[in-house]
C-alpha cells in the first residue's frame, strides 16, 4: 500500500480523532479497501476541486474534519488552495507532489516515470509551503513519502490545528489507483537521501532547486482564527441575538 496513505491512516489514529467525523476528499481515486480500513468517508471528485468540495462539506456541517488530497500539483486547483488559505478554511490539505526533476543536488535523478517527456520539466515548480504560508495557512510542512514517522506525526499535528494546513509530500507517481505496490522505490530512496530536515525554516528558503538538497520539516505553525470563528464573531457582533451561528447547536435541520 502506498506509504502516504498508510501514514495518513496512522496519523489519524495518532491524532485520536473520531474516525467517522473525518471526510477525505480527493481528486485521485483511492482503493476502496483503504477507505474501508481507515473507516472514514471518502469523496472522489473532479480534478482540482477537492478543496472547494471540502469547503462545502465543512460549511454544510462544521463538525466535520475535512482532509483534501490533491494529486494535481495545484494545477487546476491552485486558486482554491490560495483562497482557502486566505479564508483560513479549517481543512488539512495533503498535496502529493510527484514532480520530476532531471537533476537534483547535481546528480542525475533516476529515470523518470514512463509517460513523462523529458521536455516537460523546464518550468520552475511551486514552492508549495511558501505559497500556502503566504496565503495564510496556519500549518505547513514538507516530507518525502519515506519520512513515514515524521509524516504520521505531522498529519496528527495538522489534524489538531484549527485552520488551513498544508502538507506537501514528495512522492514519485500519484498512481494510487492501479498499481499501488509498484512504487518506484529507487526514486523514493533518492528523494529521501537528498533531503535535509530543517524544522521552522523560513518558507522562502525551502524552494526545491537542482543545486540544493530538498528541505523537509514542519515550517509554519501559527494560530489564526479559522473561517467559521471569524464568521460567527463578525455576524454575531452585527446581528446579535438574531444570528444563528454555524456549528455546535446551530439549529440546522
Partner 1 sequence: MKANPRDVNTGTYYMDGDVAAGYGALAAGCRFIGGYPITPSTEAAETFARIAPQAGAVFIQMEDELGSIASVMGASWSGVKTMTITSGPGYSLMMEAIGLGAMIEAPFVILNIQRGGPSTGVPTKTGQADMMQARWGSHGDYEVIAIAPDSPQELFDYTIKAFNLSEKYRCPVMIMADECVGHMSEKVVVPPAEEIEIEPRRFYNGPKEKYLPFKPDKDLVPKMVKAGDGYNLYITGLVHDEKGYPIKNQLEKGKRQKLPTRRLVDKIRLNADKIIELTEEGMDDAEVVVVSYGISYRVAIRGIEIARGKGIKVGNLRLITVWPFPDKKISELASKVKAFVVPEINYGQIVFEVERCSHGQANVVLVPHGGAGVHNPEDIAEAIEYAVNEKKKIRKVVEWKTRLEKFVFEGGYKLNK
Partner 2 sequence: MEPLKMIEKDIQPMDVHPMNDILRMDRLPHIWCPGCGIGTAVTAFAAGLDKANIDLKKTCIVSGIGCTGRVAGYIKLDSFHTTHGRGIAFATGIKVANPDLKVIVFSGDGDLISIGGNHFIHAARRNVNMLVICINNFIYAMTGGQVAPTTPLAAYATTSPFGCVEPPFNIPYLADSSGAVYVARWTALHVRRLTNSIAEALNKPGFSVIEVISPCAMYYSRINRLGDGLDMMKFYHDNSEIRHGEDTKNLDIGFQTKIIVGKFVDRERPTYMDSYNKWLSGTKKAEK
Instruction: Tell me if 191 contacts partner 2 by CB under 8 A.
Output: no
Residue of the chain from 28, 135, 184, 192 that contacts partner 2 (CB under 8 A):
135
Strands 103-104 and 22-26 come out as unpaired
> Which residue is it, cell 492501479?
178
Could you tell me the sign of the dihedral formed by the alpha carbons of 125, 50, 7, 221, in that order? positive
Question: 161: which 3 cell numbers?
Answer: 490545528
Strands 107-108 and 103-104, bridge-based pairing? antiparallel
CA–CA distance, 8 with 25 (Å, rounded to integer): 13
Smallest distance, Å, CB 57 to partner 1?
Answer: 4
Contact 124, 208 (CB under 8 A): no
Closer residue to partner 1, CB minimum distance, 21 or 111: 21
**Residue from the set 16, 106, 114, 251 that interacts with partner 1 by CB under 8 A:** 251
Residue 49 sits in the site that holds partner 1 (CB under 8 A): yes
13 beta partners: none
Q: How many residues does the chain have?
A: 253
**Is 75 near partner 2 (CB under 8 A)?**
yes
Phi first, then psi, for residue 139 (nearest 5°) are -145, 125
For residue 195, give the C-alpha cell.
533531503
Q: Which is nearer to partner 2, 51 or 156 (CB)?
A: 51
Query: Considering the rule CB under 8 A, would residue 28 count as an interface residue with partner 2?
Result: no
Question: Of 7 and 170, which CB lies nearer to partner 2 in the complex structure?
Answer: 170
Residue choice 230, 244, 248, 250 for contact with partner 2 (CB under 8 A): 230
DSSP letter at 30 equals P
111 counts as binding partner 2 under rule CB under 8 A = no
Give the footprint of partner 1 on this chain (CB under 8 A): 19-23, 25, 29, 32, 35-36, 39-46, 48-49, 52-61, 63-64, 79-80, 83, 231, 235, 239, 242-244, 246, 250-253
Interacting residue ranges for partner 2, rule: CB under 8 A: 75-79, 82-83, 86-88, 118-119, 121-127, 130-131, 133-136, 204, 227, 230-231, 234-235, 237-239
Amino acid at each position: 500500500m502506498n506509504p502516504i496513505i498508510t501514514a495518513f491512516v496512522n496519523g489519524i489514529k495518532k491524532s485520536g480523532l473520531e474516525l467517522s467525523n473525518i471526510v477525505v476528499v480527493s481528486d485521485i481515486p483511492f482503493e476502496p479497501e483503504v477507505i474501508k480500513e481507515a473507516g472514514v468517508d471518502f469523496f472522489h471528485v473532479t480534478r482540482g476541486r477537492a478543496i472547494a468540495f471540502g469547503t462545502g462539506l465543512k460549511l454544510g456541517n462544521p463538525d466535520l474534519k475535512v482532509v483534501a488530497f490533491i494529486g494535481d500539483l495545484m494545477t487546476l486547483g491552485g486558486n482554491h488552495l490560495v483562497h482557502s488559505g486566505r479564508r483560513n478554511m479549517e481543512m488539512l490539505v495533503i498535496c502529493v507532489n510527484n514532480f520530476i526533476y532531471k537533476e537534483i543536488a547535481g546528480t542525475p535523478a533516476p529515470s523518470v516515470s514512463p509517460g513523462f517527456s523529458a521536455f516537460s520539466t523546464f518550468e520552475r515548480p511551486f514552492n508549495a509551503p511558501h505559497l500556502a504560508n503566504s496565503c495564510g495557512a496556519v500549518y505547513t510542512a514538507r516530507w518525502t513519502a519515506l519520512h513515514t514517522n515524521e509524516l504520521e506525526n505531522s498529519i496528527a499535528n495538522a489534524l489538531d490545528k484549527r485552520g488551513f494546513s498544508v502538507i506537501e509530500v514528495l512522492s514519485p507517481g500519484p498512481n494510487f489507483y492501479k498499481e499501488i505496490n509498484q512504487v518506484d522505490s529507487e526514486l523514493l530512496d533518492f528523494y529521501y537521501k537528498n533531503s535535509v530536515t530543517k524544522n521552522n525554516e523560513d518558507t522562502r528558503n525551502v524552494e526545491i532547486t537542482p543545486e540544493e538538497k530538498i528541505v523537509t520539516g514542519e515550517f509554519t505553525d501559527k494560530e489564526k482564527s479559522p473561517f467559521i470563528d471569524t464568521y460567527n464573531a463578525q455576524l454575531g457582533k452585527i446581528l446579535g441575538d438574531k444570528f444563528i451561528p454555524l456549528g455546535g447547536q446551530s439549529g440546522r435541520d
